[in-house]
Structure 1
C-alpha cells in the first residue's frame, strides 16, 4: 500500500537518512535525498555496532559488504584498570547463527556501503543543499530547496542530526542538546592481538575501550569527566590522550599510550544528549535518528537506533493505508526503545561521573543489550 506515498523527501544523508532513502526507494517510492555536505563525507573514527544493527544490514542485503570492511565479534569484556576481568556480557546473535553478536567498522567505510545502496536503489541525491522552506498543506508537504520553487511530497523525513533544522522548524520549543559532564576521545590504531572482542577498562573518572573495526585495526574510545564544556586545542590532542591513557596500569593500554601519534587520527568531542518528547511528527513530516533521540556512546547504540528508525518507518509506510497511520505506527514502535537507550546511557554516565555502583553499571548494560537484541 505504501500509505498512499509515491514521492518522499529525506533531509539529511547520514546513516539514518541513507537507510530510510534506500529502503523506501526499494518499496517503489520516488525518493529525493538532501545532504548539505557537497562531499557527502562521514567524519569520525570507528563506530561500534550492535547485533540489531547487523540484523538491519542483513535485511538490506549489505551484511557481506560489512564483513568485508569491518570486524565482528561476540561478547563484551568489562575489566578493571589493571586488566582484571570484572564481568563478561553476552551479545546474542540476533542477525543469525552465522553472524556474531556485534562488531565495529570505520565510519567512512559504513557511509560508503550505505551510499552505494542509496545510489543502487535509484534515489535522487542532491548534495550541497538543504531545505529553505517546509510547509504542510492539505494536499501534501511542500518543500523548497536550493534556489528552486517548492515541490510537493507525500512525506518528508528530517534526518538531519543533533542540531536538526527540521526539528527547529517544526518544534521551536523543543529541548536543546544538553552537555552531560563527560567528553570522549577517539583514535584508530593497530588492533592488539589480545583484543578479540569489545573490551572496556573501568578507571576512576575514566573509561577506555577497544573494538575491532577491520581485521587489522581497532577503534579506541576514552570517556573523561569534564565539569565544563571548555575548548581543547587540537594540537594538544595526542599528548592529552596519552596522559589520560597513562592512568591505566593495564599493559595493553600502556603499550597503546607508547605508540600513540598524530597518524592515529585522535579526535575529541564533548558529549551531549537530547530526547524530544512525543510527538515526533507534524502533519506529513517525521523526525528520525539524532534529530529526536541523540544519545551518548555509553551503550554504543546511537547509530543503531537511528538505522532502526529508518527501517521501522519504511515498514509502517508499507503496511499502513494512510500517512498519518504510518507515522503513528512508527512512533508507537520506536518511543520506548529509544527512550530506554537515551535514559540508560545517561544513567551510565552518571554512575561513571559520581563513582556509583559498578554492579548497577554492569546490570544496566546487560539489560540494555538484552532489550536491543529483541525484535524491533
Structure 2
C-alpha cells in the first residue's frame, strides 16, 4: 500500500494484538476493541511452537516471551504408567527456540505492553454494534455509541465470533468433537524439561507442559457428553477419576491438585469456514475462521501467523482487495493442514475411527507436522 490504512481489530486476544502491533510497526493506524474490561487472559498456560515464536520475533517481543516462559527442545512420549517411550527433538525456525511454554496472563501482558508501545489504543468493554461495508471503507458504530469509517475491519474474536455470525449467519458454527480439555497449574517437576505426553489404549490423554521455572500445567483430553460440566466443588476429584490409570509424573502432578480451584474445563470444538474469510473489507481470522483441536498445539500459532501475513500482504499489494486475496491464498492451505491433522490425531489418540484421508495425514504424525510447520508461513 502506498497510503497507510486505518484498521479496526475486533478482539484483543493473541491474534488481534499481534495484528495491531504488526500494522503499527508498518506505519498503519490500528485500534483494538475488546469486550472484556482488561487483558485478563483466561486459562492456564499455552505452548508457543517455533513458528509462533518466530512471529513474536518479527513483532519484537521474542525475548520477552522467552523470559516470561520456559523454552524447551525435546518432546517426550510416555505410556500411561510413565515409562518413557521416545524423546523427539523438535525442529526450529531460524532465530527462534524450538518451543516454549508460557502462562497465558504473561503472554497477554507481553502483547499488551507491545501494543501500548506501538501507540495502538485498546477500547475495553466495547464491541461492534453496527457495520456497513461501503466498498471503499466500512462504517462502524461501536457499543459505546461512537462511529467512524475504517479501511478494513478484522475479527480476531474467537471460536464464537460475533463478526463471523454477521457475515455468514449460522452457516459456520462450532462443532463439538465429543472431547474436552482439563487443565490446571501445578508445581513443575524437575524432570519435566519440555512437554511430556502420556497416552495409551484409552480415550484419555495426559500432558505436562512447563510454563516457568517453577510452574507447569497438567492437561487431560477426555471423552465427555455434550451437556457435561464439572461440579464446581469436585472438579479436582472428577479430574482424578479420569486420570486414575496414569502413573509416573502425571500421577505425581495430580497428587498436588487438592481443590477444585484453578481447574479449567473447556469443550473441544472446531470451526471450518468453508467460504472466503473476508466479505468485502470485513475479515475473520484465527479461531473465528479455522478453530482446531489442540492436538498439534498450533491454534494460537495459526492466529499469529494469520496476523503477521495479513499485515505483510497489506504492505505488499497495491490495493486491499488484492491483499486479502493474497493473504487467504497463503493462509488457507496451512490452516487446513493443521485443522485436519489435529482432528485426525485426536481420533487416533482416543481410539476413534479415522477416514482414509485422515490415515494419509497420520503417516506424517506429530514429528512430520513439526517439520512442515517450521517452513516459512
Q: Normalising to structure 1: TM-score of the pair? A: 0.94
* Counterparts of 2:305 and 2:364, CA distance in 1: 24
Number of equivalenced pairs: 372
Aligned residue number for residue 375 of structure 1: 376
**1:9 match:** 8
- Which residue pairs with 1:235 in the alignment? 233
Q: SS in structure 2 opposite 1:82?
A: coil
Matched, 1:118 2:115: yes
Out of 187, 204, 207, the residue aligned to residue 206 of structure 1 is 204
Contact 1:5–1:154 (CA<8 Å) still a contact in 2? Answer: no
Unaligned runs of 5+ in 1: none
Alpha-carbon separation, structure 1, partners of 2:222 and 2:360: 20
Distance 1:234 1:7, change over 3 A: same
Q: Distance in 2 between matches of 1:359 and 1:74?
A: 27
Following superposition, the deviation at residue 302 of structure 1 comes to 0.5
Q: Deviations over 1:117-154 (max 9, x none)?
A: 11111112111000101111033111110243531111
1:101 aligns with 2:98: yes
Write out per-residue CA displacement over residues 103-125 of structure 1, whole angstroms, 9 at most, x where no aligned residue. 10000100000000111111121
Once residues 125 and 352 of structure 2 are traced to their aligned partners in structure 1, the CA distance between those partners, rounded to angstroms, is: 45
Distance in structure 1 (CA, Å) of the matches to 2:360 and 2:135: 54
User: Is 1:150 the equivalent of 2:150?
Assistant: no
Partner of residue 31, structure 1: 30
Q: Which residue of 2 aligns with 1:52?
A: 51
Is contact 2:135–2:280 with CA below 8 Å preserved after alignment?
no
Mapped to 1, the partners of 2:53 and 2:93 lie a distance apart of 8
Tell me which residue corresponds to 1:277: 274
Structure 2: tracts of 5 or more residues without a match: none
- More displaced 10-residue stretch of structure 1: 51-60 or 251-260: 251-260
Cα deviation per residue 1:240-271 (whole Å; 9 max; x = unaligned)?
112223211x2222222222123872111111
Kept after mapping to 2: 8 A contact 1:47/1:219: no
How far is the alpha carbon of 1:305 from its aligned partner? 0.3
1:80 is matched with which residue? 79
Q: Compared with structure 1, are the counterparts of its residues 355 and 129 closer, same or farther at alpha carbon in structure 2 (3 Å cutoff)?
A: closer
Contact kept, 8 Å, 2:345 with 2:365, in 1: the verdict is: yes
Per-residue deviation, residues 137-191 of structure 1 (Å, max 9, x unmatched):
0331111102435311111101111111111111114321011011111011111
Match of 1:164 in 2: 161
> Contact (CA 8 Å) 2:66, 2:100: kept in 1 or not?
no
Q: How many angstroms does 1:30 deviate by?
A: 1.3
- 1:54 and 1:95 in contact (8 A); partners too: no
CA distance in 2, matches of 1:209, 1:259: 15
Cα deviation for residue 100 of structure 1 reads 2.6
Per the alignment, residue 135 of structure 2 pairs with 138
In structure 2, relative to structure 1, the CA distance for the partners of 1:179 and 1:244 (3 Å cut) is: same
The answer to whether the 8 A contact 2:203-2:350 is kept is yes
Q: Cα offset for 1:361?
A: 5.7
Change (3 A) 1:354 1:141: same
Bigger drift between 251-260 and 131-140 goes to 251-260
Residue in 2 that maps onto 1:316? 313
* Contact 1:51–1:102, Cα closer than 8 Å, also in 2: yes
CA distance in 2, matches of 1:360, 1:234: 39
C-alpha distance in structure 2 between counterparts of 1:75 and 1:359, whole Å? 25
Aligned to 1:344: 341
Two-structure CA RMSD over aligned residues (Å): 2.0
In structure 1, the residue matched to 2:217 is: 219
Query: Cα deviations across residues 2-60 of structure 1 (Å, max 9, x unaligned)?
Result: 6x442110000000000001110111111111000012321000111110011111111
CA contact (8 A) 2:232 2:260 kept: no
